[in-house]
Amino acid sequence: MASERTRRPRMRLLLALCTTAVAASVLLPGSVQAQPEPSLQDVQRQVEALYGQAEVSTEKYNGLQEKLQEKQKQLQLINQRIARQQKKLEEMRKTIGAIASAQYRNGGMDTTLQLLLANNPQKFLEQAASLDQLTQQQADQLRRIAASQQQLNSDKRAAAREIAEIEQLRKQMEAHKNEIVGNLNKAQRLLNGLKAEQRRKLQAADRGDDVKYIGAASGDAAIAIEFARRQLGEPYEWGATGPDSWDCSGLTMRAWEQAGVDIPRTSQAQYDALRKVPRSQLRPGDLVFFGYNGEVSHVGIYVGNGRMIHATHPGSTVQLDPVDSMNKPYIGAARP
């Protein structure tokens, strides 16, 4: 009876091993079974997703670039102020020094003038009770030196803060740049894996509409649209604001700039800053925005007849397309 119980588990083990061996022989005809090639639609979806991620990173990069430029301007102003304060302080010290030299030649320098020439006049000022021996003119001069020194020290601290923030912005920009380049490289590898006929189909699907679909516009909107129309066919390039290549918000910013209207650099900032309009009230020249979860990452300029001109995505160009052709949700519209 015991031997029968021993044989049964062994039999089950042998059967399992045989079943596994048969399955392996079916799955491994000489080597690993080849994976089916992805369809054109699969590749297109993956490429569009990568382009979308790159566009989000591009807009964040552009926003940081704007902040960096503002910080650099602030630092320049602070450095100019520091230079003026140093010059002013030096001139005041020279004035006091001349008085001190004259007193020294005439029999010795007043101790109050020694204090005026000290590196820390504020410390002396705090000892207000000892100012009786100073003339009013000397006391006023000392106060001016102390105030100038305080302002100089404050500006130097502000400059140090700006430098630290600039360095942090540069690190963040580098991280976004790496994300952009990484996603674009992945997309390019997918496209390189397509057959010639598949690439032709993809390129044909990516062509924009004919310019005859552009509606009528007037005033500033007409100027902005005409500028955008002249850029049709020019290449998309992340971070570009012209004159020969564009990203989406760079194109809309420059188009309205031609009409004398300044709008922010990035698509999110444009959407936040401009007056919102319902889709039912769209008119030529309005900006239309797209993105995910309420975060804007793409913008085009509406030209009428349900269409927009926009810098599409890497590897493509500035095109005229239906507003509904975007592969990301419509968020809203705004009027410069």
Q: What percent of the chain has pLDDT over 70?
A: 72
Catalytic entry in 18, 176, 248, 313: 248
Mean per-residue pLDDT for 234-259?
96
Tokens for 258, please give them.
Answer: 């031609």
Q: Which helix (H) or strand (E) holds 34?
A: none
Q: How confident is the model at residue 211 (pLDDT cuts 50, 70, 90)?
A: low
Assess whether pLDDT exceeds 60 at residue 104.
Answer: no
Residue 2 has a pLDDT of 42
Is pTM beyond 0.85? Reply is no
On whether the CB atoms of residues 300 and 333 are closer than 8 A, the answer is no
> Whose CA is closest to 224, among 98, 336, 81?
336
Q: How far from each other are the two terminal CA atoms of the chain, in whole angstroms? A: 93
**From the CB of residue 144, how many other CB atoms can be counted at a distance below 10 Å?**
14
The two beta strands, 330-335 and 318-322, are unpaired
Instruction: Summarize the confidence of residues 229-248 as an average pLDDT.
Output: 95
Residue 313 appears among annotated catalytic residues: no
The per-residue pLDDT for range 54-67, each reduced to its tens digit, is: 888 888 888 898 88
Tokens of 56: 């989000």
- Give the model's confidence band at 75: pLDDT under 50 very low, under 70 low, under 90 confident, else very high: very high
Strand runs (DSSP E) across 201-285, as ranges?
275-277
Q: How many whole angstroms separate alpha carbon 283 and alpha carbon 277?
A: 9
pLDDT value of residue 118: 52
Compute the distance between CA of residue 232 and CA of residue 321 in angstroms, rounded to an integer.
Answer: 11
What stretch of H or E contains 153? Answer: helix 136-192
Q: Which residue out of 18, 176, 310, 313 is catalytically annotated?
A: 310
Mark whether 18 is an active-site residue.
no
Residue 81: exposure state from Cβ atoms within 10 A (0-12, 13-18, ≥19): middle
Please determine, for residue 266, whether its predicted confidence score (pLDDT) is greater than 50.
Answer: yes
Q: What is the pLDDT of residues 33-45, one digit of tens each?
A: 556 677 777 877 8
pLDDT band of residue 214 (cuts 50, 70, 90) is: low
Helices (H) and strands (E) in the chain, counts: 9, 6
219: region left, alpha or beta (phi > 0 left; psi from -120 to 50 alpha): left
- Segment 241-267 shows an average pLDDT of 97
Question: Is the pLDDT score of 22 beyond 80?
Answer: no
Distance CA 84, CA 75 (A): 14
Whether 144 and 125 have beta carbons less than 8 Å apart is answered as no
Q: Residue 248 catalytic?
A: yes
pLDDT level of residue 98 (50, 70, 90 thresholds): low
**Cross-strand bridge partners of residue 298:** 290
Q: Which of 86-90, 97-101, 141-145, 242-246 has the lowest mean pLDDT?
A: 97-101
pLDDT at 23 over 70: no
